[in-house]
Structure 1
Amino acid sequence: MPDLLKQLAEAALGSRLRRLAEMLSSDAGSIYQSYNVDIEPSWFPIIMVLSQTPQSSIKALAEQTGHSHVFVSKIVKQMRVRALVTVTPSEQDKRSTLISLTPTAKQMLPALSAQTRDVGNAMQLLTNSVHPEFMALVDAFETALRRKSLSQRTQISAQRFNQQSVQIVPYHRQHAKAFYDLNKQWIEQFFVMEPSDYASLEDPDKIIEQGGSILLAMVNKDVIGTCAMIKMNDSQFELAKMAVSPVCQGMGIGYMLGQAVIDAALDKGASQLYLESNRQLTAAINLYKKLGFTEVKGAASPYARCDIQMALALKQEARCKEE
């Protein structure tokens, strides 16, 4: 039978991750038994924190494990029933309680340490076989979700879709011709194609392979706009190859693409977006200013048509607070 979760792809990622967690957790019980560690898998993070910090509050445990206050309270109650933790009032704040491991729990620590080592080695081999940067990608995914929740992103996606039925989507190889044609069309309307244009337009996959992104504006199955984000270094990306179909110009598509690229740059931890343009393109320059770009003096451009360079500072912490 076909795998429905695979067919739904990103739309079912939460369910897919839960299934993956169940696959990993199904072995956890037997692994704990083989090391003579009599605990539930969900207790592991709490025990590890308390093994390094003799006493900790529920709030601190939640912050250090990344779990909710309610979840940690529930786990502590379960562990207390099994005589693995003690709960005592804080001397500094009588409204707060401090959690600590019991002697019974501490006796498990050597075996738990050996288990952690062996499971860690096994998981490292497994994740490396999938992708050398697997855990770094997981970290990046978590960071992006903390910056802006899935519900917020879904609302933005719905707003973008409802605006003239436009949807902003990531580039796939079947879009290569549309990416090339839309950009070639606007370039040749004002200038001539240059070697750097051919290099990026004829091999868009390279932009993604080198750490960048390409976003598309679509109506139904038609690509009506494009915008690339090219990686310059770990903290700086270039906004490039923004093009909108002539029949769709004036509908705010360029602004939607620009905002989506800013979000993508923030998700990658960038501190600056940079772009190159020509003062003759007054509509484009006005758009960049509306997005927050200001004129700067950059390095020599590979494009003969470039006579203005602009940049936008991305403030990760400020952005997080606002959202």
Structure 2
Amino acid sequence: MKYRKLGRSGLKVSEIGLGSWLTFGTATAEETAQACIHKAYEQGINFFDTANAYNNGAAEQVMGSALKAYTRSSYVLATKLFFPMGAGPNDRGLSRKHIMEQCDASLKRLGTDYIDLYQCHRYDNETPIEETLRALDDLTAQGKILYAGVSEWTAGQIADAASIGKNLNLRPLISNQPIYNMFERYIEKENVIQQCEWEGMGQVVFSPLAQGVLTGKYKPGQAIPQDSRAANDKTNGVINSYLREDVLACAAKLEELAAELGASLSQFALAWVLRQTNVSSAIIGSSRPSQIEENIKAIDLVLTDDVLARTENILMEINGFAPMR
């Protein structure tokens, strides 16, 4: 495994991380989920990402239970908050009340004394950003979290947060977690990467394999495999946006290019994401340990300028793909 610093912080995370969205506590049985976590750790993955809202806390419980087998200092544990965790008016968002209460709840579910990276799952237009940043800073001072970050914030929101944090002499945010893959590239076009570089923040991107479309399992003109995520009613709501004939045809051409490099499509897609130096980790999901073994080989795949240019030519064939934000 290879490791990169998360932004300008001293924290090092594996180039491939393991996430739990749409899998742990939902589509993947706990025994299999734990096997995936153990395989990831054995392969050198040290960055594990979850969120309180993933299956209403079940994903945190599964991940925390599996990671108890290892020395706490040997891995980086990340979770998030923002989305509703109850029916009450204060059971959502980024208010001080919700942040403090949900941090304690996540610590309990994870079975740990501290969270390495605590992330704001979305931007909260109803809470002053000063309130959010002060709450995160207080949690850091209390030792409940070590670092703070955000997820799917715009470049402007990130810039505002950084400016306010500096004026208040608060500890800086170190990460942003956006969706990023060959089909969804808004962080390039909307200056999110550039803004994060200015502010010393790194990207820990999710869905680098486009919900499995960039693994080659879905073929244009063919039926959806019955053992796939797209065939599961609990998880197919997100992937359906990718199941267009033009997208699948593009993926097929990318798979041919990957084969020329002696790589699988998933390895090629992950290497493409990691070509960005501001990307600290690409977070994969997994329903089988074997998927992890295959995907981590991406860290050794070098993409030349010629290959990147050919990739761009293939991707230009897709029109009007809207980012899933």
Relative to the length of structure 1, the TM-score reads: 0.22
Of the two, which has the highest radius of gyration?
A: 1
Structure showing greater relative contact order (alpha-carbon pairs closer than 8 Å, 6 or more residues apart)? 2
**Which has the larger helix fraction?**
1
